[in-house]
Amino acid sequence: MQSFCQKLKSSKTKFIFISGGVISGLGKGTTSASIAALLEGCGLKVFPIKVDMYLNIDAGTMNPLEHGETFVTADALECDQDIGTYERFLHRNLDRSNYFTAGQVYQSILDKERQLRFNGRCVEAFPHIPLEIIDFINRFPEDTDVVIVEYGGTVGEYQNEAFFEAARMMAACSPNQVCFVHIGYILQPPSLGEMKSKPMQMSIRMLNELGIFPDLLICRSENQIDRPRIEKIAIAAGVSEKEVFSCPNVDSIYKLPKILKDQGVLQPIFNKLHLNTNSCHIPPWENLSDKIDSLKRTIKIGIVAKYYTSGGSNLGDSYISVLEAVKHAAWEMNVKPEITWFDSETIEKDKKNLEKLSQVDVVIVPQGWGSRGVEGKVEAIKYVRENKIPYLGLCFGMQMATVEFGRNVVGLKDANSEEANPDSPHPVIHIMEEQKELIRKLQYGGTIRLGAWPCKIAKGTLIEEVYQKYGWLTDNSVVDERHRHRYEFNNAYREQYEAKGMHFTGLSPDGKLVEAVELDRSLHPYFIGTQFHPELISRPFTPHPLFLGLIEAGLAHKNA
């Protein structure tokens, strides 16, 4: 502990810990990303970290309905969707050093124990787990000015205590290098009509019991928090009213940097961390916020999904990167996107629901796993193809597009993916060869094709035209795109598909893997499917070309 304290005190790096209280899903990730963007606007080098308290090693095996979207980094890490938020706000790629879980911490400790790295000492929950957490936090580059650590979950959960203890230990070593930001929810029950701050006060008390006293508080609420509540919360936390900030619901998360900056959220951070900075410049965020408010024209986006409905709830977080990529492209094209969700299982139950697709300007079929809802997606794609509605299929959406085309155009009766029907007579989508042995050994976690892989774009194609138009294509016609899949197109059927007008316009550099397909433009104006996930690298200031092309095609379809 003493050597760690000496190391911390000798470092110029500062640390901001962001915690949440009352409920999960507060938007800690967006708030963390916004603060990071503001600090970078002040000329500081920021390193964000998301910590999940799950015993999962990564987010790859988690159900998206429970956990939300699994984001994939360029270096092949399956992680929490907040990493995607950080990438979009900071406009740069992150990697596995920006994310860790309790499972990784415990695994690392146990590996060290087996290697006799503890020199025969008893390995205990304290101090070894908090110290290991500190080691994970300390993976930042040497030139980092500020590390922002976002703790998942809420204060008071049993599994969080070791992580808060790690933060307390760091603050005890060097108080002026650690700042605590606590975000809590201010309830406003409709039956009472007034805001209630007691749950927020209780979450602050729970932090105090762990030895942590927040330096500033951000109050999430439906509406702007009022003065009486600010006074109560400031007294409960032992801070001034100038250190309590309001963060009501907004129609776009990209307005948050400006909202927080205008309230002066950086000043208490600068004061606590003794940071000397220049003024904070964020013209891009201010301009984007103004642009969003000024848009009048709309475009209707249909998304055919299987992870959207859960019980009586609608969970758009399962496809958060797709939604953000749509917004980026629509705003660039000076239109406001209107999202309409289509549950693929509902389509299976009643094909009359397909007719509602005629009311949208473009259709996206995003990622998915397993057999549930497959036939609904296939039917939706058939409707889109026949009615020439601009289409973008992402991973599973590309695979289902080839299934539909195989059945209804190529003439392959009962064509399917081996994932949906292992006994299909025409497995046009089959498991990757190297995956078969992994499956037999039940090695599922972290073993699929992950991360950034090169894709060779064919000349004279629609996809080449779109990439070139927006300046994303290199001289060698190769793009790097992120992947997350175990199944691929079956090359035995390539010639039959080409003969009927489906072209394989993106391939792995060795030509073995199909990365992108499109329909001949004599058959459809804009019909593209990708095995990769273009949504993962779209940014608010640099939208992805395939989404820009889709919106452009949708506007033409709307006008026609």
Query: What is the reported pLDDT for 1?
Result: 54
Q: Say how far apart CA 428 and CA 407 lie, in whole Å.
A: 10
- pLDDT exceeding 70 applies to what percent of the chain? 95
Mean predicted confidence (pLDDT) in 541-550 = 97
Mean predicted confidence (pLDDT) in 366-393 = 90
Q: Say how far apart CA 256 and CA 334 lie, in whole Å.
A: 20
Q: Say how far apart CA 497 and CA 515 lie, in whole Å.
A: 15
Mean predicted confidence (pLDDT) in 283-293 = 92
194 in catalytic set: no
Residue 34 reports pLDDT greater than 70: yes
Choosing from 328, 483, 485, 533, the catalytic residue is: 533
- Give CA 531 to chain center in angstroms: 18
Please spell the DSSP secondary structure of 414-473, one letter per residue. Answer: TEEETTT-TT-SEEEEEE-TTHHHHHHTT--TT-SEEEEEEEEEPTTSHHHHHHHHTT--
Question: Helix H segments across 91-191?
Answer: 102-114, 125-137, 161-173
528 φψ region: left (φ > 0), alpha (ψ -120 to 50), beta (else): beta
Choosing from 42, 247, 395, 455, the catalytic residue is: 395
Residue with tokens 């550099």: 509
pTM of the model: 0.93
Q: Say how far apart CA 302 and CA 284 lie, in whole Å.
A: 29
Q: Say how far apart CA 414 and CA 60 lie, in whole Å.
A: 31
Residue 17 reports pLDDT greater than 80: yes
Residue pair 105/160 in contact by the 8 Å Cβ criterion: no
Residue 4 reports pLDDT greater than 90: no
Query: What is the reported pLDDT for 316?
Result: 67
Q: What is the pLDDT of residues 252-274, one digit of tens each?
A: 999 999 999 999 999 999 999 99
Q: What is the pLDDT of residues 290-313, one digit of tens each?
A: 999 999 999 999 999 876 654 444
495 in catalytic set: no
Q: What is the pLDDT of residues 174-233, one digit of tens each?
A: 999 999 999 999 988 888 878 888 999 999 999 999 999 999 999 999 889 989 899 999
Report the DSSP beta bridge partners of residue 452: 482
Residue 529 is classified by DSSP as E
- Residues of 169-183 as b/e, b for ≥16 C-beta within 10 angstroms? bbbebbeebbbbbbb
Torsion sign, CA atoms 84, 86, 91, 93: negative
Q: Say how far apart CA 205 and CA 252 lie, in whole Å.
A: 32
Q: What is the pLDDT of residues 110-159, one digit of tens each?
A: 999 999 999 889 999 899 999 999 999 999 999 999 999 999 999 989 88
Residue 318 reports pLDDT greater than 50: yes
Mean predicted confidence (pLDDT) in 5-20 = 84
Please spell the DSSP secondary structure of 171-206, one letter per residue. Answer: HHH-GGGEEEEEEEE-B--TTT-S-B-HHHHHHHHH
Question: Helix H segments across 274-373?
Answer: 283-294, 320-332, 344-349
Query: What is the reported pLDDT for 20?
Result: 94
User: Could you check whether the bond before residue 127 is cis, i.e. omega within 30 degrees of 0?
Assistant: yes
**What tokens appear for 7 in the block?**
């190391």
Query: What is the reported pLDDT for 67?
Result: 73
- Residues of 375-387 as b/e, b for ≥16 C-beta within 10 angstroms? bbbbbbbbbbbee
Residue 57 reports pLDDT greater than 80: yes
**What tokens appear for 299 in the block?**
């475009």
SS3 133: helix
Count Cβ atoms within 10 A of the Cβ of residue 339 and give its class: 0-12 exposed, 13-18 middle, 19 or more buried: middle
Query: What is the reported pLDDT for 7?
Result: 67
Q: Say how far apart CA 531 and CA 489 lie, in whole Å.
A: 9
pLDDT classification of 85: cutoffs 50, 70, 90: very high
Mean predicted confidence (pLDDT) in 429-439 = 77
E strands of 207-361, at which residues? 216-221, 244-248, 298-305, 309-310, 313-314, 336-343
Choosing from 524, 535, 544, 552, the catalytic residue is: 535
533 in catalytic set: yes
Q: Which of the pair, 351 or 362, is modelled with greater confidence?
A: 362
Query: What is the reported pLDDT for 162?
Result: 95
Closest C-alpha among 369, 395, 482, 486 to residue 432:
486
Query: What is the reported pLDDT for 432?
Result: 74
Query: What is the reported pLDDT for 311?
Result: 46
Residue 373 reports pLDDT greater than 90: no
Query: What is the reported pLDDT for 453?
Result: 94
Query: What is the reported pLDDT for 361?
Result: 97
- Residues of 424-451 as b/e, b for ≥16 C-beta within 10 angstroms? bebbbbbbeeebeeeeeeeeeeeebbbb
**What tokens appear for 78 in the block?**
């399956």
